[in-house]
Amino acid sequence: MAACRGCTSVPTSNSDHKRSKVTLKNLLAVGKSAARSDSAGRLARAKLRHAALTLLPDKIVGGALMKRHLQSEIALRKVEVRIGNWPAKFDGVRLGHISDLHVGDLMPIPRALDAVHLLRREAPDLIACTGDVVDLDVAGCEPIFAALGALRAPLGRYFVLGNHDLLDNARRVLRLAQSSGLKTLRGEMLTARGGLRIAGIDWSRTLEGNAQGLRAIVEDGSIPHLLLAHNPKAFREAAKYNVPLTLAGHTHGGQFALNRKGREQPRAATSRALRAGHYHDGASHLFVTTGAGGWFPLRVNCPAEVVVITVRRG
């Protein structure tokens, strides 16, 4: 896999985005729900993390963190992956991979649209969105789903749910994705024009949950050529079935790295963490994008990105 040194990038702004406000009253209201074990509790805990990692630090420094973050660029990364068991008919296919937009304070609508437009200019053969379009609130995300659904891709536009997509209103997220023209894969496999088999599974935090999602798909003996999952842990099971390629997000690459060089070369998937870049295990390959958005307004040697992957047989 080769990284593109001349990656395209787009500076973006937040000129028309209304930020969340941090007040003691708001924090106390959210805190009352945080101990719950249901979806309301998960959303409350996510809001508290957002306040602790983003809103409060940014307020302390007078908005400098957010300003710097929103002036940073989202890179268009181009990579090539060679896979021995990739179908010869699709040698050279170009996959547009976008993940972890986290539309909200750290990803206002204009910035998110710029990320989608990076892919539009590249005109890949297939669009794969591996989740977390939404950060904390689905309201206002309609233009992003519409832009993703409007991308031209002869092999289709596909979407799987991430953990943040489930926090506020998962049903509304699904409705927006489907009405926009995205094919939402929830433990199922579709066959694109020409015979490329594409599968996708819902978010699961655990290895076993991801394994169960894939096993339900392959139980009839059909193995996907391409698996989409928000959590890279799905690759552990995918490798057991020799799934040629898995695309995932979720990790953001940690948003911190000592250097970027190690992520530009394929690595054996021997470590516990599958954080960013290209991994392989036997005949199976995984690509984990660092994502277009963020959990907090700082990245070091781990830029935000959208990716175009050229897949070669060999």
In 186-306, alpha helices (H): 207-218, 234-240
| More confident position, 56 or 25 | 56
Q: In this structure, is residue 79 part of a structural domain?
A: yes
Look up the domain containing 141 and give its range: 70-313
Per-residue pLDDT at 243:
98
Name residue 128's beta-bridge partners: 97, 158
User: Residues of the chain with pLDDT > 90: what percent?
Assistant: 77
Per-residue pLDDT at 10:
43
Q: Work out the end-to-end distance of the chain between its first and last CA atoms, rounded to an integer number of angstroms.
A: 12
User: What's the CA gap between 75 and 65, in Å, rounded?
Assistant: 19
Mean pLDDT of the chain: 90
Per-residue pLDDT at 272:
73
Q: In this structure, is residue 119 part of a structural domain?
A: yes
Q: Which of the four pLDDT bands, split at 50, 70 and 90, describes residue 261?
A: low
User: What's the CA gap between 185 and 201, in Å, rounded?
Assistant: 6
Q: In this structure, is residue 77 part of a structural domain?
A: yes
User: What's the CA gap between 172 and 166, in Å, rounded?
Assistant: 10
pLDDT one-digit tens code per residue, 74-130 = 999 999 999 999 999 999 999 999 999 999 999 999 999 999 999 999 999 999 999
52 Cβ contact partners less than 8 Å away, ≥ 6 residues apart: none
Q: Which CATH number does the domain housing residue 204 bear?
A: 3.60.21.10
User: Residues of the chain with pLDDT > 70: what percent?
Assistant: 87
Q: In this structure, is residue 17 part of a structural domain?
A: no
pTM of the predicted protein model = 0.89
Q: In this structure, is residue 176 part of a structural domain?
A: yes
The counts of H helices and E strands in the chain are 9, 14
Q: What total of structural domains would you count in the chain?
A: 1
Name residue 189's beta-bridge partners: 199
| More confident position, 257 or 287 | 287
CB of 303 closer than 8 Å to CB of 294: no
Q: In this structure, is residue 1 part of a structural domain?
A: no
Signed CA dihedral, 53, 68, 250, 151: sign only: positive
pLDDT one-digit tens code per residue, 143-163 = 999 999 999 999 999 999 999
Residue 8 has pLDDT above 50, yes or no: no
pLDDT one-digit tens code per residue, 39-60 = 788 888 989 889 888 999 999 9
Per-residue pLDDT at 303:
95
User: What's the CA gap between 57 and 41, in Å, rounded?
Assistant: 23
Per-residue pLDDT at 270:
85
Classify residue 200 as exposed, middle or buried by CB count within 10 Å of its CB (0-12, 13-18, 19+).
buried
Q: In this structure, is residue 106 part of a structural domain?
A: yes
Per-residue pLDDT at 1:
44
CB of 234 closer than 8 Å to CB of 214: yes
User: What's the CA gap between 28 and 33, in Å, rounded?
Assistant: 9
